[in-house]
Amino acid sequence: MPLFVLRRLLSFVLTLLATSVVVFAVLELLPGNAAQVILGETATPDSIAAMEEKLGLNQPASTRYINWMVGMLQGQTGLSISYDTPTAQLMAERMQVTLPLAVMAMGLTVALALALGIYAASQQNKAGDVGVMTLSQLGLALPNFWLAILLILLFAVHLEWVSAGGFPGWTEDDGGGVGEGIKALLLPAMALAAVQTAILTRVTRSAVLDTLREDFVRTARAKGLSRHQVLWGHVLRNAMIPVLTVMGLQFGNLITSAIVIENVFVLPGIGRLIFQAIANRDLIVVRDVVMLLAALVILINFCIDVLYAWIDPRLKAGHAE
């Protein structure tokens, strides 16, 4: 198992390094002048030259990349043009909204999908199975931004149970609190979780059905275990490898999908930050936020790989990857 984790850690570092090269190349090495983009078409040559010096664009590309990497490793990120604030501070503030939102959406997804997927598998080809699969198909067909608008109309406009948007903060000093913060994120989390729940339900059902055909399941039933005990105690764990793979991809997708949902609900998260940075031509913020999101996705998949080693006995013994 240590060798397996070491290999995955090396893969994580190399993937992160390759991602940083791609992000840097896209935003700084493609044709076009970054200073011109930031200042706009009406900028004078003197102002463009001053901006190039401020951004370090007068230095070779390799030097700029190394400086960026060293700064990231030291926690010293670039200075936002729009906010005149280090991007690390901006991202830390906005992640206080985006990360809890993604965790809430993932929690809803896992709780609903595992229950529905196992239930559908246990009722294969029966009314319960058909009903769950029909609901999952409907969930796949609904765009999350459209569902978000419907949720606002129902719960905020007609029922007036929650506000239509905005975020009060996590502390009472900000005018909110933990309860108010969770309440403000509930509808966005539901909008994000709908499609992901539909996908994970189908994956769970397929994985459970495949596992139910294994010999050890028949052995467990022969020993007198109930169907419920077999499903939750034996089948689910052995079916978790494909489920975990999809869960890792989904959690990363939930973080990146927040760009749309946060704008629908006017949430001050990382998605709204990058949307505003693009509108303001703040390429420094765009670069660092994209790198942060990419790093989070890669880190999540690294953690999923480590979980494989805990679930699969073959990986613990080092017989397979």
Q: Is the separation of the CB atoms in 196 and 250 below 8 Å?
A: yes
d(CA 245, CA 321): 14
How far from 21 is each of 16, 63, 64, 287, 301, CA to CA, in Å? Answer: 9, 13, 11, 11, 20
Hey, is 86 helix, strand or coil?
A: strand
Q: What is the DSSP string of 235-252?
A: IHHHTHHHHHHHHHHHHH
Closest by CA to 286, choosing from 98, 44, 147, 78, is 78
Q: Is the separation of the CB atoms in 19 and 294 below 8 Å?
A: yes
Report the CATH architecture of 87-316. Orthogonal Bundle (1.10)
Q: What type of residue is 87? A: T
Q: Is the separation of the CB atoms in 132 and 140 below 8 Å?
A: no
Instruction: Enumerate the domain spans of the chain.
Output: 2-73, 87-316
Please state the pTM of the whole predicted model: 0.81
- List per-residue pLDDT tens for the chain, 321 residues long: 577 678 778 888 898 899 888 888 887 766 666 677 777 777 888 888 888 787 777 788 888 888 888 888 887 788 887 788 888 889 988 988 998 998 999 999 999 998 899 888 888 888 988 999 999 888 888 888 888 899 999 988 888 888 888 888 888 776 678 888 888 899 999 999 988 999 999 999 998 888 888 778 778 778 777 777 777 777 777 787 788 888 888 888 888 777 788 888 988 888 888 888 887 778 888 888 888 888 888 888 888 777 776 666 555 555 444
